[in-house]
């Protein structure tokens, strides 16, 4: 599996490329960015070639491209890469809205190429352990899901504060609990209500909450934002017990997650083996490329459907949200 990387981003430097460059069966061939000097530094560190973005996609020695540009550029560059015949792993979120996501899905299907977004948490086995406990009836009948991904304020020049680059808390962190709701409650979720705290000067969303309803009537409330101490968790609540996953979205590779099952008179802890969800994300992607038949493979169809469903929820939240302007931070 020969990969090219498009974007000299922070996530590429800190996490993605060190993992990609050391993953078994994967060869990082070239990296491309808008600054030749910075691209050269990336190439030197990861032992690959430096390229310009357009030239990267023209290379015929690449099977796939990993894209870590600002979110507003995901659609254009992912579309270019698919048209050039490359499989694509694009950073989350796949695009800025459902129309863009659907367009990319159509392109990937027409060319029988793998198109995935880099939601690492989907590759952590702790969520299969949750599904097992649910299937065994340990929670009883679930009726509620609570989930949040919140982080403290970022440096003022961060791309997440620039609306034109796809900034805002909903697109950056809100998509995690939305995607968790799709994973745990299945398709067909609807938005019953939402609020967004927005920056008074330009309306950029800094944090928010949404209430979702599943087709079977499970209620999910989700929270997200750049205005809180760190939290990345979910609880699934049934009539027998409540199951909580702390560090749901970003468990470090060496971290052994503990699931907490709370019954009325009894608390049980399940400590699970550590897992490197990013490495699994890359190796699973490579396996999907090797297997082929992405257009009709059930796993790929499910991932593409979930990517679009998540962006439809983003659109619905934007449409319905009661906006609460807050003063800009000094
Ligand atoms: N999966 C995850 O856990 C995870 C974690 C973090 C981020 N992400 C995603 O990864 C993406 C990048 O995030 P980041 O925090 O790594 O961002 P970042 O460090 O700011 O990197 C953004 C990249 O885009 C380039 N860029 C910035 N503005 C541009 C413009 N106007 N035109 C063209 N290129 C531009 C930058 O170029 P220069 O290098 O030349 O400045 C840089 O290579 C986002 O979509 C984010 O949601 C995912």
Q: Are residues 79 and 189 in the same domain?
A: no
Cα distance between residue 162 and residue 68, in whole Å: 16
Give 27-47 pLDDT, tens digit per residue: 999 999 999 999 999 999 999
In a domain, 299, yes or no: no
Give yes or no for a contact between 194 and 322, defined as CB atoms under 8 angstroms apart: yes
In a domain, 287, yes or no: no
Q: How many helices (H) and strands (E) does the chain have?
A: 11, 15
Question: Looking up tokens 């396996």, which residue turns up?
Answer: 287
Q: Are residues 16 and 136 in the same domain?
A: no
Query: Three-state SS for 22?
Result: helix
Copy the structure tokens of residue 182. 């799709």
Point out the ligand 1 atom lying closest to the alpha carbon of residue 171: 47
Give yes or no for a contact between 275 and 253, defined as CB atoms under 8 angstroms apart: yes
Q: Are residues 104 and 161 in the same domain?
A: no
CATH number at residue 68: 3.40.50.720
In a domain, 297, yes or no: no
pLDDT for 328: 86
Atom 6 of ligand 1, residue of closest alpha carbon: 11
In a domain, 176, yes or no: yes
pLDDT for 253: 96
* CB of 162 sitting under 6 A from ligand 1: no
Sign of CA dihedral 68, 70, 75, 81: negative
Give 59-118 pLDDT, tens digit per residue: 999 999 999 999 999 999 999 999 999 999 999 999 999 999 999 999 999 999 999 999
pLDDT for 170: 98
Cα distance between residue 73 and residue 164, in whole Å: 10
pLDDT for 311: 98
pLDDT mean over 52-58: 98
CA of 165 to the centre of ligand 1 (A): 9
Q: Are residues 112 and 171 in the same domain?
A: no
Query: Which of 69, 64, 57, 78 has its CA nearest to residue 11?
Result: 69
What is the model's pTM? 0.97
Distances (CA, A) of 157 to 59, 165, 188: 33, 12, 37
Please, which contacts does 98-106 make with residues 24 or more away whose CB atoms are closer than 8 Å?
98/308, 98/311, 98/312, 98/314, 98/315, 100/74, 100/75, 100/311, 101/307, 101/308, 101/311, 102/308, 103/75, 103/79, 104/75, 104/78, 104/79, 105/304, 105/307, 105/308
Copy the structure tokens of residue 20. 């990609």
CA of 193 to the centre of ligand 1 (A): 30
Number of domains making up the chain: 2
Give 108-150 pLDDT, tens digit per residue: 999 999 999 999 999 999 999 999 999 999 999 999 999 999 9
Q: Are residues 111 and 127 in the same domain?
A: no
Q: Residue 329 — very low, low, confident or very high, per pLDDT cuts 50/70/90?
A: confident
Catalytic (active site) residue 92: yes
Give 257-310 pLDDT, tens digit per residue: 999 999 999 999 999 999 999 999 999 999 999 999 999 999 999 999 999 999
In a domain, 256, yes or no: yes
pLDDT for 135: 97
Q: What integer best gives the mean pLDDT of the chain?
A: 97
Q: Residue 15 — very low, low, confident or very high, per pLDDT cuts 50/70/90?
A: very high
Query: Which of 77, 220, 40, 199 has its CA nearest to residue 144?
Result: 220
Q: Are residues 131 and 272 in the same domain?
A: yes
CA of 97 to the centre of ligand 1 (A): 18
* CB of 16 sitting under 6 A from ligand 1: no
Domain limits for position 9: 2-119
Copy the structure tokens of residue 118. 């880099």
pLDDT for 162: 97
Q: Are residues 166 and 264 in the same domain?
A: yes
Among residues 72, 87, 119, the one where a domain terminates is 119
Cα distance between residue 152 and residue 136, in whole Å: 37
Q: Does 319 score more than 90 pLDDT?
A: yes
Give yes or no for a contact between 67 and 8, defined as CB atoms under 8 angstroms apart: no
pLDDT for 244: 98
Cα distance between residue 70 and residue 170, in whole Å: 15
């Amino acid at each position: 599996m020969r990969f090219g990387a498009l974007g000299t981003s922070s996530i590429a430097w800190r996490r993605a490329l060190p993992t990609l460059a050391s993953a078994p069966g994967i060869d990082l061939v070239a990296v491309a960015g808008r600054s030749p000097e910075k691209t050269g530094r990336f190439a030197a560190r990861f032992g690959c070639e430096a390229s310009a973005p357009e030239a990267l996609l023209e290379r015929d020695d690449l099977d796939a491209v990993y894209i870590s540009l600002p979110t507003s550029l995901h659609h254009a560059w992912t579309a270019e890469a698919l048209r050039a015949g490359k499989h694509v792993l694009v950073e989350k979120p796949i695009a800025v809205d459902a129309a863009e996501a659907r367009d990319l899905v159509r392109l990937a299907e027409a060319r029988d190429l793998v198109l995935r977004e880099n939601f690492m948490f989907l590759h952590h086995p702790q969520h299969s352990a949750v599904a097992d406990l649910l299937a065994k009836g340990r929670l009883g009948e679930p009726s509620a899901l609570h989930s949040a991904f919140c982080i403290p304020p970022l440096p003022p020049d961060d791309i997440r504060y620039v609306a034109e680059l796809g900034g805002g808390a909903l697109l950056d962190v809100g998509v995690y609990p939305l995607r968790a709701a799709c994973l745990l409650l299945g398709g067909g979720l609807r938005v019953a209500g939402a609020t967004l705290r927005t920056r008074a000067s330009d309306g950029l969303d800094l944090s928010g909450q949404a209430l979702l309803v599943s087709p079977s009537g499970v209620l999910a409330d989700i929270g997200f934002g750049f205005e809180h101490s760190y939290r990345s968790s979910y609880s699934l609540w049934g009539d027998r017990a409540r199951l909580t996953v702390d560090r749901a979205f970003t468990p470090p590779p060496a971290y052994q997650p503990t699931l907490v099952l709370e019954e009325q008179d009894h608390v049980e802890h399940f400590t699970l083996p550590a897992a490197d969800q990013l490495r699994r994300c890359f190796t699973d992607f490579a396996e999907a490329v090797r297997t082929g038949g992405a257009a009709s493979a059930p796993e790929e169809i499910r991932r593409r459907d979930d990517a679009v469903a998540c962006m439809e929820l983003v659109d619905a939240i934007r449409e319905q949200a009661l906006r609460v302007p807050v003063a800009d931070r000094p």
